[in-house]
C-alpha cells in the first residue's frame, strides 16, 4: 500500500506520516520546502521523541520525499492508495489546483484503484472544503471518474506537537496521546488499515467535542496565561486562578455539546478532565505564544470561543467564563503576531463590544457587555 502525505512539518512527521509508516505504508512526504525535502531524502530517518516523564524515542524510517507540484509528485499521487495533508486550514485552498491537476492526470492514466484523500487539519470538515475547491477546477470526465474512484474523507485529529529543538532538525517531540477519527461513510473502497485510527459514523460529534473541549481549553489557557506573564502552558494551567476559569470554560462548552449531541454528562466531564491533565505535562515545553498566535482566527465564528458561545446561547446556557476568555484573547498582544496587532488596532478604533461582534459574529448584547466588563478588569 502506498501513501502520499502533503506537508512535511512537525504534524506531518510527528503524527500523520509516522502513523502511516507504522501501518506499513510506503510513504512519500511532499512539501514546498526544497531544503526540507533534501534533508529527508539524505538522512532517510528521524527520531520521534515522546515527551513524557517516562517517554521513549522512536526511529522513523522507510520514507522518501518530493516537492509539491514536481513531476515526481504527480507520479507518487497517481500511484497512491491514500493521500493525507497537514498544512493548516489557511494553506489548504492553495492546494486545490495542484490536487485537481493530479486527479486529472490519474484519470487520464485510467487508474482502476481507489484513492482516499484525508485532510488532517484543525477545522471542521476540512476535506470537504478542499473537495469543493477541487471540483470547481475539474472537467466533467474527471468529476465522473472521481465519483466512483476517489473518496474525500473528513477526519478529526488530536495530538500536541510543541515547538521543540533537537540536534537533528528533522526530529519531532510529541505527547504520547493521539487520536485520529475518520468518517467511515466518505471512504471509497476498503477501509484503510491505519494504526490507531477510529472510523466513525458520527464525525460531526467527534470533531466538535475535540475542537470545543481540547482547543477551547488550550487557547483559554494560553490567553489567560499571557495576561499573567507565563511562558509555558503547563505553568498557566496549574495556576489556581486560571485553572478555575478554564474549568468553567470547559463546563460551559461541555454543557452546550451535551445539549446538542446528547453526550453523557459524566463521560464528557471525564474527557475534559483528561484534556487538562495533558496540558499539565511539563516535558512538552508547550509555549503560551505558540497556542495563542493568530487570535483573530481563533476568535472567528467557527472556532474555539465563538462557536461554543453561540451553542450555549442557543440553549440558554451560561457563557460567563467564555466571555472572560474572549476578553483575554482580545487583550492578547505580541510583537511577533500580526493578528494580535490588528486586533489591538480594531479595539482602539471600534471598542471592545463592537470588535467582539465583528470578529466573533455574536450579536447577543448581554454577552458583548460581559466581554467588555471582563476586558476592563484585565
Per-residue model confidence as pLDDT tens digits over 145-181: 999 999 999 999 999 998 888 999 999 999 999 999 9
What are the tens digits of pLDDT across the range 124-151? 899 999 999 999 999 999 999 999 999 9
Looking at residues 315-343, what average pLDDT do you find? 97
CB 206 within 8 A of CB 172: no
Listing DSSP states for 250-316 in one string gives: HHHHHHHHHHHH---HHHHHHHHHHHHHHHT-GGG--BHHHHHS-HHHHTSTTSTTHHHHHHHHHTT
Torsion angle in degrees (nearest 10) through CA of 10, 13, 16, 20: 180
Task: Retrieve residue 278's grid coordinates.
Answer: 495533558
Long-range contacts made by residues 57-61, C-beta under 8 angstroms, separation at least 24?
58/18, 60/13, 60/17, 60/18, 60/21, 61/21
Tracing cell 506537537 back to the chain, one arrives at 161
Q: What predicted TM-score, i.e. pTM, was given to this entire model?
A: 0.88
Q: What is the pLDDT of residues 86-106, one digit of tens each?
A: 999 999 999 999 999 999 999
Distances (CA, A) of 89 to 93, 172, 215: 8, 21, 15
β-pairing, 57-60 vs 46-50, is antiparallel
pLDDT tens-digit profile of 35-87?
999 999 999 999 999 999 888 899 999 999 999 999 999 999 999 999 999 99
Amino acid at each position: 500500500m502506498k501513501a502520499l502525505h502533503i506537508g512535511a512539518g512537525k504534524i506531518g512527521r510527528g503524527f500523520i506520516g509516522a502513523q502511516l509508516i507504522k501501518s506499513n505504508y510506503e510513504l512519500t512526504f511532499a512539501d514546498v520546502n526544497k531544503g526540507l525535502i533534501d534533508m529527508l531524502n539524505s538522512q532517510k530517518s528521524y527520531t520521534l521523541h515522546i515527551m513524557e516523564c517516562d517517554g521513549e524515542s522512536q526511529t522513523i524510517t522507510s520514507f522518501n520525499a518530493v516537492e509539491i507540484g514536481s513531476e515526481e509528485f504527480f507520479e507518487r499521487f497517481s500511484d497512491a492508495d491514500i493521500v493525507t495533508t497537514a498544512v493548516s486550514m489557511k494553506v489548504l485552498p492553495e492546494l486545490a489546483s495542484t490536487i485537481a491537476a493530479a486527479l486529472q492526470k490519474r484519470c487520464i492514466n485510467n487508474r482502476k484503484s481507489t484513492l482516499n484523500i484525508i485532510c488532517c487539519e484543525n477545522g471542521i470538515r476540512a476535506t470537504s472544503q478542499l473537495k469543493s475547491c477541487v471540483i470547481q477546477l475539474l472537467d466533467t470526465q474527471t468529476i465522473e471518474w472521481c465519483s466512483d474512484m476517489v473518496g474525500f474523507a473528513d477526519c478529526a485529529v488530536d495530538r500536541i506537537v510543541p515547538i521543540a529543538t533537537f540536534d537533528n532538525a528533522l526530529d519531532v517531540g510529541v505527547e504520547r496521546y493521539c487520536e485520529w477519527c475518520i468518517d467511515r461513510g466518505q471512504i471509497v473502497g476498503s477501509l484503510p488499515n491505519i494504526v490507531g485510527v477510529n472510523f466513525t459514523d458520527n464525525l460531526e460529534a467527534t470533531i466538535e467535542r475535540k475542537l470545543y473541549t481540547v482547543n477551547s481549553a488550550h487557547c483559554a489557557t494560553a490567553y489567560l496565561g499571557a495576561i499573567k506573564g507565563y511562558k509555558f502552558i503547563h505553568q498557566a494551567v496549574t495556576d489556581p486562578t486560571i485553572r478555575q476559569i478554564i474549568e468553567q470554560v470547559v463546563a460551559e462548552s461541555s454543557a452546550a455539546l451535551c445539549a446538542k449531541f446528547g453526550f453523557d454528562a459524566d463521560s464528557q466531564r471525564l474527557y475534559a478532565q483528561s484534556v487538562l491533565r495533558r496540558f499539565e505535562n511539563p516535558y512538552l515545553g508547550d509555549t503560551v505564544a505558540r497556542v495563542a498566535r493568530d487570535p483573530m482566527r481563533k476568535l472567528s465564528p467557527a472556532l474555539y470561543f465563538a462557536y461554543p458561545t453561540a451553542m450555549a446561547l442557543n440553549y440558554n446556557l451560561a457563557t460567563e467564563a467564555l466571555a472572560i476568555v474572549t476578553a483575554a484573547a482580545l487583550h492578547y498582544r505580541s510583537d511577533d503576531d500580526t493578528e494580535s496587532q490588528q486586533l489591538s488596532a480594531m479595539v482602539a478604533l471600534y471598542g471592545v463590544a463592537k470588535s467582539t461582534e465583528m470578529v466573533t459574529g455574536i450579536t447577543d448584547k448581554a454577552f458583548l457587555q460581559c466581554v467588555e466588563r471582563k476586558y476592563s478588569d484585565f
